Amino acid sequence: MPTGDLSVTILERAPMGAVVITVAGEIDASNAAWLREIIKLATTQIIATVEIDLVDVTLLSRSGLEVLIEARDTMDGRFAVIAASSTVRRVLGFMELLGGFGLGHESQS
């Protein structure tokens, strides 16, 4: 159970075989491990992809960034960031990771 200001909603898109995880609030050291477990649980299902919506994330710490990188690197192309807040985009841009998450340089939030 997280101790930081974080909420997560999980929606399964059956026809497309995807799980969409919507995250809002702050992703930091107090809740990154919890988010990692949610993503891992989603990958245990027989699904095509796990999509994560970060449009309502107000803080992305190093711990949260590590969770995203780990998911991207271990899911063989089955993990996608489908939307990101300006805060998340700033962090990913600073780390030169926007393209690595398929976000490019266009603004989504």
What's residue 14's pLDDT?
61
Burial of 31 (0-12, 13-18, 19+ CB in 10 A): buried
User: Which residues are CB-neighbours of 37 under 8 A, at least 6 positions away?
Assistant: none
Per-residue model confidence as pLDDT tens digits over 36-83? 999 988 877 666 789 999 999 999 999 999 999 999 999 888 899 999
What's residue 6's pLDDT?
86
Helix ranges restricted to H, 7-98: 32-43, 62-74, 86-94
Per-residue model confidence as pLDDT tens digits over 91-100? 999 999 999 9
Whether the model clears a pTM of 0.75, i.e. scores above it, the answer is yes
